[in-house]
Amino acid sequence: METLAVGIVGAGWMGHVHARAYQRLAQHWPDLAVRPEVVAVADSSAAAAETFARAHGATTPVRSFPDWRDLLADPDVAAVSVTAPNFLHRELGVAVAEAGKHLWIEKPVGLTAADAGAVRDAVHANGVVACVGFNYRHVPAVARARAIVASGQIGVPTHARVQLLTDYAAHPGSPLSWRYAVETGGHGALGDLASHGVDLLRFVLGDVVGVVARTAVHIPQRPIADTAGHYAVLDVTEPGLAFGEVENEDYVVAILRMANGTLGVCEADRAAVGEQNSYGLEVHGTRGLVRWDFRRPGELQVSAGDHYSGQPTSTVFSEPGDGEYAAFQPGAGIAMGYDDTKVVEARNFVRAISGEPVELATLDDAVASAAVLDAMVASHDTGGWVDL
């Protein structure tokens, strides 16, 4: 078995998730031709890099670099995960491709569709393999929903809804991290949440051709603090705490027109009190519906048949044959988790590097999703439909 030496840039939440995913690959697919090994990490925070090296260096020592350029200069490193904040995606993604290394990059791939396009162009120019962190595609129930829609079981799709409501930014003491500034985060709830929603709609129903949208900021000022991570909270009664302006949206609601004629609604909120990662997708058709809830990931609500009115909806459980479920569990109805979606993503990445045929979430998908997000902002500004 060949070893693929991997470096991780950005040792926050996603950096750890990618590292765990690489490490678990051979446990789920023991016959893989290529086995990834995390050998290096780069993070501007020495503490984050040190924690990462301790967490993931038990069997192979992890070399640690404060500057990601030194990681890219390491000739051993053949593939790189970009799990740093959004404002670094463009520079990093282009540099990884130009260094001739394969690239697994987190969504939304930069601040705008132009940023995602620059990374895509560098990947194509340098002939490296690249995939994007649209991991909800890899939930077996989502794969089954896609197959159900494609098979015509629910008839002709008429309309769809995707929602991503959560509360990591709902607390007024949630600090003004890189996510809330245009220069470092780009879009707000759009890039963080709606990017996944648009990708799910595209994955199940195809391209988006037009949008109309409104965005809103629920908490216009947040306390200033040097923190990373989604979930930090500061004591806003602390004397002397300084506050700064939130520059991007907490909330977006949009109507989308799909190329196949389906209408869609996308709603995303990062500051929704009472909602914790309440994500979901539903597709309605002329003969039925299919509905998925992220927090019940192994279940799908399906209504199909020829009753029309009064047609029942039943719960079906993921089972071997749905996406990559069989690599995790032997029988139906045994729950899989968030990290498992990243294990599947890592597997697709590594298979593509080995030259095996596999459907990846590509940089073309990242550009398409980002173009829809940019169009949502343009629609908010103009008040009208924006065609893509």
Which residue ranges make up the site for ligand NAD (CB under 6 A)? 9-14, 42-45, 48, 68, 83-86, 88, 106-107, 133, 135, 192, 228-230
Q: Which two tokens stand for residue 360?
A: 């990846």
Q: Are strands 243-245 and 221-223 parallel, antiparallel or unpaired?
A: antiparallel
Quote the least distance from Cβ 382 to ligand NAD, whole Å: 27
- Residue 105 or residue 304: which is nearer to ligand NAD going by CB? 105
Quote the least distance from Cβ 84 to ligand NAD, whole Å: 4
- Residue 108 or residue 157: which is nearer to ligand NAD going by CB? 108
Which residue number is nearest to ligand NAD in terms of Cβ? 12
- Residue 112 or residue 262: which is nearer to ligand NAD going by CB? 112
Beta strands (DSSP E) in the chain are 2-9, 34-42, 63-65, 79-82, 102-105, 130-132, 157-165, 208-216, 221-223, 243-245, 251-258, 263-269, 278-285, 288-293, 299-304, 314-317, 386-387
Quote the least distance from Cβ 175 to ligand NAD, whole Å: 11
Quote the least distance from Cβ 70 to ligand NAD, whole Å: 11
In one letter, which amino acid is 194? A
Cβ 139 vs Cβ 323: under 8 Å:
yes
- Residue 232 or residue 332: which is nearer to ligand NAD going by CB? 232
Quote the least distance from Cβ 154 to ligand NAD, whole Å: 27
Cβ 269 vs Cβ 253: under 8 Å:
no
- Residue 8 or residue 289: which is nearer to ligand NAD going by CB? 8
Side-by-side strand order, sheet with 63-65: 63-65, 34-42, 2-9, 79-82, 102-105, 130-132
Quote the least distance from Cβ 188 to ligand NAD, whole Å: 11
- Look at residue 362 and give its three-state secondary structure: coil
Cβ 312 vs Cβ 303: under 8 Å:
yes
- Residue 109 or residue 128: which is nearer to ligand NAD going by CB? 109
Cβ 368 vs Cβ 205: under 8 Å:
no
Cβ 284 vs Cβ 265: under 8 Å:
no
